[in-house]
Chain A
């Protein structure tokens, strides 16, 4: 069970009783090449806990060529922090060298899935460690869509040989936003290839649209989806994503405990 290593929380996480959580996750983009306080926090974190890296900016569904210099520095960084795998999102972030810094949804087409798979392979080779892809929350769908999101993700995972980062909150948000049954979506995901799971909270707008904010408590329905997912994924690192409107740390630890209990039950039953 892990928590996102947010600089806003860092000092209190360092003071937390041992065993409150088992690992931290961080985005290399927020540390790569920086000295000063960020480097100090990073070193302290890697000395205290296992660290898993989760990227935000590779734009796996885009066409901008990867910067080999960036991938080299990233590979070095990942090796330095000792992450067991690296993940990034199945989305597009940049075009013609301009970066939106948003996780923009991709058209769910076979050609797009194969394009992503090719890019994932390229990154995996450059980084030299296992890679997982995360499906993103979405608020609209492309007229070009020709397959379900689960089939799209499966195609990328199978064609690239990468792992899955299953985000049960994203899955729930998309099922609700597009009127699908989340359990059916889950059923079709390549869960056997799961390397890691994310759980988080989201915001429900008055018009019914769910926005993936990572700033709210986790919904009961998302916990239930997690329990179901764990039956097929087996024991994998589970991370609670909380990026904003931070509650007292004790509240986060209660979420950690609840997830731990769900995992215990899932594995005992299995």
Chain B
């Protein structure tokens, strides 16, 4: 079908002559709607790296891969996947920003779920989005900090709270991140979780126990850990 040549014309890097007069308008529109959604999706990248950088990346994305999703709101997810697969240096920051949207849009039904009481079994909120980076992406800004940052890896968690849809974030070290992973696969009481986590690590048991308790308290209070029950 000749109509498809217009799609190629609006997306291709070197599209050749337009299929009809004013077809270049559609090339402009296509870029604009994609830039619009990426600007909304990645405000920190935008302010740290500038519009020009985002626009260049968007052009490469459109021209080298292009969105395959039919759903316009999912374009930033595909853009991110492309940035990761192409090893783009900014992909960790993009991922950090998108985690919030992934958690917010996660299809799990949560409203019947509450934080567990002292002796109740709890598991990670099903919307928890976990990703690990080598760089402390939460500190990335237009002006790099004067002192070098501490060493990673950094484990970032982001989730949606039941009933309010409020988003919460938590950053933990790799040790605590692994311990939290136990609550991703199985519902455990706090004591059972402490026991399992302490069993699996050779860190200083007293300090580690304290850190685990603090983290558990924190996540329960912010509904990152929810009472066991069928989440869907």
Residues of A within 8 A of B (CB): 29-30, 32-40, 56-58, 61-63, 67, 70, 91-102, 104-107, 112, 115, 139-144, 209
Partner of B68, one of A62, A99, A142: A99
B34 touches A101 (CB 8 A): yes
Known: A36-B160, A100-B30. A142 touches B20 (CB 8 A): yes
Partner of A107, one of B2, B7, B10, B68: B2
A140 touches B22 (CB 8 A): yes
Q: Which residues from chain B contact A56 at a C-beta distance below 8 Å?
A: 72
Residue-wise, chain B 144-166 has the 8 Å CB interface mask toward A (1 for contact) of: 00000000000000001000010
Interface centre among A36, A70, A141 (most CB of B within 10 A): A36
Q: Check: B3 CB closer than 8 A to any chain A CB.
A: yes
A30 touches B26 (CB 8 A): no
Residues of B within 8 A of A (CB): 1-8, 10-11, 19-23, 25-26, 29-30, 33-34, 65-73, 75, 104-110, 127, 160, 165
Minimum CB distance partner of A177 in chain B:
B22
A92 touches B160 (CB 8 A): no
Instruction: A206 to B160: give the CA distance in the assembly, Å.
Output: 47
Q: Which residues from chain A contact B106 at a C-beta distance below 8 Å?
A: 35-36
**Total A-B pairs, Cβ < 8 A:** 124
A95 touches B19 (CB 8 A): no
A99 touches B10 (CB 8 A): no
Minimum CB distance partner of B19 in chain A:
A142
Partner of B165, one of A30, A40, A98, A142: A40
Instruction: A132 to B7: give the CA distance in the assembly, Å.
Output: 23
Minimum CB distance partner of A106 in chain B:
B3
Minimum CB distance partner of A109 in chain B:
B2
User: A102 → chain B, closest Cβ, in Å?
Assistant: 5
Instruction: A100 to B66: give the CA distance in the assembly, Å.
Output: 8
A140 touches B71 (CB 8 A): no
Instruction: A37 to B101: give the CA distance in the assembly, Å.
Output: 11
Q: List 8 A-B contacts (CB under 8 A).
A: A34-B105, A35-B107, A35-B110, A36-B160, A57-B72, A67-B70, A94-B7, A97-B68
B2 touches A101 (CB 8 A): no
Known: A35-B108, A115-B1, A139-B22. A100 touches B7 (CB 8 A): yes
Instruction: A143 to B11: give the CA distance in the assembly, Å.
Output: 21
Minimum CB distance partner of A99 in chain B:
B67
Partner of B73, one of A29, A115, A140: A29
Known: A63-B1, A104-B26. A33 touches B107 (CB 8 A): yes
Known: A34-B73, A106-B3. A100 touches B10 (CB 8 A): yes
Partner of A99, one of B5, B21, B66, B108: B66
The 9 closest A-B pairs by CB, nearest first: A98-B66, A95-B7, A140-B22, A95-B4, A92-B3, A57-B70, A35-B107, A36-B104, A34-B105
Instruction: A139 to B18: give the CA distance in the assembly, Å.
Output: 13
Instruction: A102 to B6: give the CA distance in the assembly, Å.
Output: 11
Q: Which residues from chain A contact B110 at a C-beta distance below 8 Å?
A: 35
Q: Which residues from chain A contact B107 at a C-beta distance below 8 Å?
A: 33-35, 39
Q: Which residues from chain B contact A115 at a C-beta distance below 8 Å?
A: 1
B4 touches A62 (CB 8 A): yes
Instruction: A33 to B74: give the CA distance in the assembly, Å.
Output: 11
Instruction: A52 to B106: give the CA distance in the assembly, Å.
Output: 24
B25 touches A140 (CB 8 A): yes
User: A155 → chain B, closest Cβ, in Å?
Assistant: 15
Instruction: A139 to B4: give the CA distance in the assembly, Å.
Output: 17
B70 touches A36 (CB 8 A): no
User: A161 → chain B, closest Cβ, in Å?
Assistant: 21
Minimum CB distance partner of B37 in chain A:
A101
B160 touches A98 (CB 8 A): no
